[in-house]
Each structure stands twice: as C-alpha cells, then as structure tokens.
Chain A
Amino acid sequence: MMARAPLTRRKLIVGIAVLSAALAVCLLAGMSVGVGRVSLIDWLLGRALSEADRTILFEVRVPRVLLAAVIGGALTVAGVVFQALLRNPLADPYVLGVSGGASVGGVVALLLGLGSGAGWLSEAGVPLFAFGGALGALLLIERIATVGGRLTVYTILLTGAIFNAFSAALIYFIQSIASLHQLHEIVFYLMGRIPSPGAGEIGFLSAAILAGSLALMTMTRDYNALSLGEEGARQLGVDVDRIKRRTFVVASLLTGLAVSVAGLIGFVGLVVPHMLRLILGPDHRLLLPAAFLGGAAFLVLTDLLSRMLMAPSELPVGVVTALIGGPFFLYLLRRRGHSHGFA
C-alpha cells in the first residue's frame, strides 16, 4: 500500500518548510496583486499611501486573502481526514451532508431577508444561519448514522448522500417560492465567493479553523493505522470508534465554518488532498499539516486568478479552482498514479 519510502524526520521537515514557503509566496502575491494598483510591497517599503489605497489594501484585499487561506486550509484538511476515515478517494468535505445543511441555513436567511438592511444581522445573519444549518445537519446525521453505538462508514456515507439530496430539494423548493431578486442572491450565494470580512471575523475564523485543524493533527497516527482497515487499526490498539466520532465532528465543524462564510467552493477539498498524496505519499503525519498549508496556498492563488483573469470583472472562485485543479490533478495522476495512497 505504501509504495513510497516511509516518512523520515528529514522529509517531514523539508516538506513542511517547502509548503510553508509556498504559502508565504502565495500570500505575498495575493496581497500584492489586485485590480487596484496599490501593492502590499508599497506598504512594506514604507511608501505613502492615499486613503483609498489604504482602504483597498487593508479593508478589501488583505482580509480576503487571509480568509481564502484559512478556508482553503480548512476544506483541504477536512477532505484529507474524510478520505482517510471513509477510506474512499471520492470523499470530500461536502460528502457528509453538513454542507447541505449549511446551504439550506444560508438560503433560508436570504429568503427571510436577513442579508438586507443595516445592523449586525445584515452582516452576520446569513453566516450564522448557515452555521446553524451545519450544526443541525451534523447532529442529525451523527444520530442517524450511529448504529448500535457505532458510526459505520457505510451509514455515514449513505446518510450524508441522502441528506445532501434532501437539502438540494429544499433549496429548489425555496428557489421556486423566492422572488426573482432573491433567486439571484441565492444562486450567487450557492456559487461560493470569498468576501472581505472585518478584522474581528477574520480573527475568530482563523482561530477556530486553526484549533480544529490542530485537533485533527493530533490523530495522524490513528489515520495511518486506519489505512489498514478498521480491524487492522483495532489490532494496533486504536480506539476506532472514538477517533471516527471525533474526526467526524471536528471536520464537519471546519466544513460548516467554511461553507457559512464562503458558500460552496468545490474542488479544493477533493483534489488538493489527492495532489498532496501523490506528491508526498500517504503518511498523515506529513499529509495533514501539508493539507492545511497547500490548501491555503491553492485557494489564495485561485482567488487571485479569479480576481485578475477578467479584471475588473470577477469570476466565481469555484470556477477557477475546478479549471486549474482538474487538469493539474489528471496530470499528476498520469505521472505518478501508481504510488497513490488509495491505489
């Protein structure tokens, strides 16, 4: 199963250092290049900035780039652990139905008009409802998928798929009773976009996503054991049920946070884990931190492209993640497919 050389300390350090550097370069590029001519480099060099430039840089671009980074990290980490937990290469953060719950919550908020008008509710109403929907879905799916006190892979996958289909039907229903204007809002919301949030929001989201990702990183040895199958992992002394439940809850919360703020951004949580697995091998001690760094860099870069490709018009970031991620993944698969962790 592990065709590549086992993980050495040296490989771990080099891998994480290279990906950290890549993320730093992407962050710098994302903050330096934009439709506005001002660049982060101007600020770093201490050049005088006009008020408009300051606003562009610190209220629009930097928050957006930071948000793209933490969301990319969250989705990719969630993707890796879902793939490990379910031992299914097609698993992505959206497979468990939590995203469906979040979408329904966000769309209900839009239908109720919470996103309009002034006040804190107009800023926070939609994400809060979406996160509420994600939590509701998580509780429901966890309860339904627990059979005889255990979460089984089969029931998790099936419950998630059915819950997502059910959510899609609910959203179609809401769309069919929404006005034309609300319909537009709903479509754009579901398409996914990366907003420019305030400092408080960024701080809270970064802290929550980092905490969740670190919590998952404490279980990397267990994920490695799980690749031998649940029985194999049990024989190695892994408390499989506890690991599964914890992972399921934490990764779902990460996904719920990401979807509430940015909508459904496809491909990041499916393809980036596989790319990294192809390049770095299947050992989760390296793969999981690499997923956070690589996913963050990937979404920062694709968001940069979505801003610049048709400037000053913008493309939905999900379009770019798929257009860039899809071909690149196929290329990697053709070149290195045989050492793939799932092969």
Chain B
Amino acid sequence: MTDAPQSALGQRRSWMPALAALVLLILAGAGCADDESAAPGRRGSLPGTEIDSDSVAIVVVAPAAAEILEALGRLDRVVGIADFGPWPAAIADLPSVGSYDNPNAERLLSLGAELVLTTVSQAAAPSHRRLQELGIEVVALDTATYDGVFRTVERIGQLLDRQDEARAIVARMQEELAGIERQAAGLKTRRVLVVVGRDPLYVAGPGSHLDRLIAIAGGTNVAHDAISAYQRFSSEAVLERMPEVIIDTSDNRPGALRGVEPGWWGQWPSLPAVADGAVYWVDPSRLVIPGIRLPEMARLMSRLIHPETFGEADARELSAIGSTAAPGPSG
C-alpha cells in the first residue's frame, strides 16, 4: 500500500522537534519548571525560570489572559497573539502564532517567545508539553471558575512582578461582585435563560459562570437543572418554564442581531420575555468568557434582569467589545 513511505516519512519528521528540544534543553541548561509548582520568584525574574520579568517576550493566545495583562499594565511585553480575539487594541495588530489550541512552534521561536499565556485545555495539553520541551514557558490559566479567575490574576501578577497591583485588582473585583449581589438580593428574582447556541438549542446550565452571574444579578436560571454547564436543552422546557428574560449570545459574527429585539424568539409570543420586550441579543464577548471583566459582566447581567433598578443597558454594552459601530437599540 501507499501508506508505507508516508509513515516512514512521518517517523523521520517526528524526530526533528525532539532533537531540537534536546539541543535547546542542553543549551538552556535548565529543566522545565512545572507551572503548578512555580515558587514565589525573586524580583526581576519569572519564578522557577531564568527569564527576566521586565524584558520577557510574551505570546498570549487567550483573550482572557490579555485582559489581565492589560489591567496589570504589561501589554508592552506581548510580542504575539492567536488567530481569534477579541484582543485589546494595543496588541491587535501583532503577528499571530496560529490557533489558540495549537500555536505554531516555529512562529513562537522566531518571535523569541519566552512565555505563552493560555487557558487550561485538555486538547491543547500535548502541544503545551511540546513547547515546554522547546524551552518556552507555558502558563495555562484556569478561568473556568471565579476562584480560578482570582488565582489567575494573582498568578500573572506574580510572574510579571506586579503582585501588589494584582492583589488590589482581585480585591476590587470581589468587592464589586459582592456589591451587585447585595443590591440585587432585595429584588424580586426573575426567571432567566442564557442561550449560547441555537440550532440545536444550547444553554448555560449549572456550574457555568453564567449560572452564577444570573444568581448574583438577582435571577434564577430556568436551565439550572441541565446536566452540565453548557448543555443541549429542550425547547419544550423553555416554553414551559416561561423565562421572563432571554439573553441570546448564540452568534458572534459581524452583523449579527444585537439589542432588545425578539428576533428568532418572536415566533413564541407566549414567552413572557418576548411579550415584555426582554429578549436581549448580546455579543458573546460581553458575557461568555469569564475573566477580569466578571464585575462588568455582573453589572450588565443586572441591567438586563433588573433594568428598573440598575438602569437600561446601553446598546454599546450589547455589541462586540472593541466594535466602534454600535447598532441603535430598537423594539
């Protein structure tokens, strides 16, 4: 069969990165630091590495991590990003290293990357290991939970010698979230549905940060009994549970519906959210990926659920982050 020469070629190729990694390891003269065991570092260097934290070349492939760098004032150290953003304007024009889950090692090396900031991903774990073998430090951030986000901010602060700033940011985030929760606690809870995909219907379920955001902002998630955080969900259940607020984030393409409009949901006028004009089409970048903007997300959520108390959401708050042309609200 024709397979034989191909697989021989494949085998020969697979030696190359391993060889390169070996050479690099010998040259570096240092083992790879396990990112979990990184000890609090000396000032001026990344903990457990020989990298100088003032001149480190960072490639950031997770937008959530870029936002943390921005808040810590360290975007100037970024030399590369990944294909899909949204990215802060200051780094949006930097070269891309390819996809988020499989950054191109050659591009990383040619950019002189010393540190890659990404988020925890099972699929990407092998490629992360390979990069570590090539001498590039990979820090995978856990942004799946609120505590994970807080730890992540402190961790990046530690790596980049901004410990105090990081701690202050975390304290402020926690304070703001608690403030919104306190204010919403006195209000009548509303039934809320957050949609992340429409065909088939996918919704935010228990364990998602959106489920928690709903609770903080004074709502109850009508999909709270789904079997996982993001779950294919029965439209019959939606119709029967009568959500009073529907937040649809199912589409992030340019030109997608934004604002207060029934849109696709208008076909079901019996839904209270449709009848009361409380169907919001929100860009996913506003709500879906947790990170340093959690307090902002909670504020937006509170305005969508309780506009009478927290104020109507501005049209700009519903469109993509960084988009200049905000569609006017209608309906």
Contact = CB atoms under 8 A, between A and B. Distances in A.
A244 to B, nearest CB: 30
A313 B267 contact: no
B326 to A, nearest CB: 17
B259 to A, nearest CB: 13
B237 A35 contact: yes
Contacts of A59: 267-268
Return the 5 tightest CB-CB contacts between A and B, nearest first: A312-B237, A36-B236, A35-B234, A51-B270, A35-B236
A302 to B, nearest CB: 15
A284 interface: no
B200 A115 contact: no
Contacts of A133: none
A184 B252 contact: no
B321 interface: no
Contacts of B270: 50-52, 54-55
Contacts of A185: 197, 199
Interface string A94-115: 0000000000000000000101
Nearest to A317: B200
Interface in A118-148: 118, 122
Given A36-B240, A52-B240, A316-B232, 19 more contacts: A51-B270, A52-B242, A55-B268, A56-B236, A56-B240, A117-B255, A118-B263, A180-B100, A185-B197, A188-B197, A188-B200, A189-B199, A195-B199, A312-B223, A312-B233, A313-B226, A313-B232, A313-B234, A314-B233
Nearest to B263: A118
A184 B201 CA distance: 12
Interface string A227-252: 00000000000000000000000000
B15 interface: no
A313 B228 contact: yes
Interface string B226-264: 111001111111011010000000011101110000011
Contacts of A36: 234, 236-237, 239-240
Interface of A: 34-38, 50-52, 54-56, 59-61, 113, 115-118, 122, 176, 179-182, 184-185, 188-189, 193, 195-196, 307, 310-316
A113 B251 CA distance: 9
B225 interface: yes
Contacts of A116: 251, 253, 256
Nearest to B85: A179
Contacts of B267: 59
A185 B225 CA distance: 23
Nearest to B267: A59
B200 A311 contact: no
Nearest to B251: A116
Nearest to A177: B83
Interface residues of B, number: 38
A195 B205 CA distance: 21
B227 A55 contact: no
Contacts of A118: 257, 263-264
B264 A314 contact: no
B103 interface: no
Residue in B84, B233, B236, B284 with the greatest tally of chain A CB atoms within 10 Å: B236
Contacts of B256: 116-117
Contact of A312 (B100, B226, B253): B226
9 contacts: A37-B240, A52-B270, A113-B255, A116-B251, A179-B252, A182-B253, A185-B197, A311-B234, A314-B234
Nearest to A192: B200
A61 B236 contact: yes
B252 A307 contact: no
Contacts of A314: 200-201, 232-234
Given A60-B236, A188-B197, A316-B232, A310 B227 contact: yes
A311 B237 contact: yes
B225 to A, nearest CB: 6
Nearest to B242: A52
Contacts of B84: 179-180
A114 to B, nearest CB: 10
A181 B252 contact: yes
A312 B225 contact: yes
B239 A113 contact: no
Contacts of A180: 84, 100
Nearest to B102: A176
A181 B263 CA distance: 20
B250 to A, nearest CB: 8
Contacts of B284: 181
Contacts of B228: 313
Residue in A193, A312, A315 with the greatest tally of chain B CB atoms within 10 Å: A312
Nearest to B235: A60
Given A55-B270, A59-B268, A313-B231, A117 B257 contact: yes
Contacts of B236: 34-36, 56, 60-61, 307, 312
A193 B232 CA distance: 11
A314 B268 CA distance: 20
A179 to B, nearest CB: 5
Residue in A52, A60, A196, A310 with the greatest tally of chain B CB atoms within 10 Å: A52
A110 B100 CA distance: 21
Contacts of B232: 188, 313-316
Contact of B200 (A38, A176, A181, A193): A193
Given A51-B270, A180-B84, A312 B200 contact: no
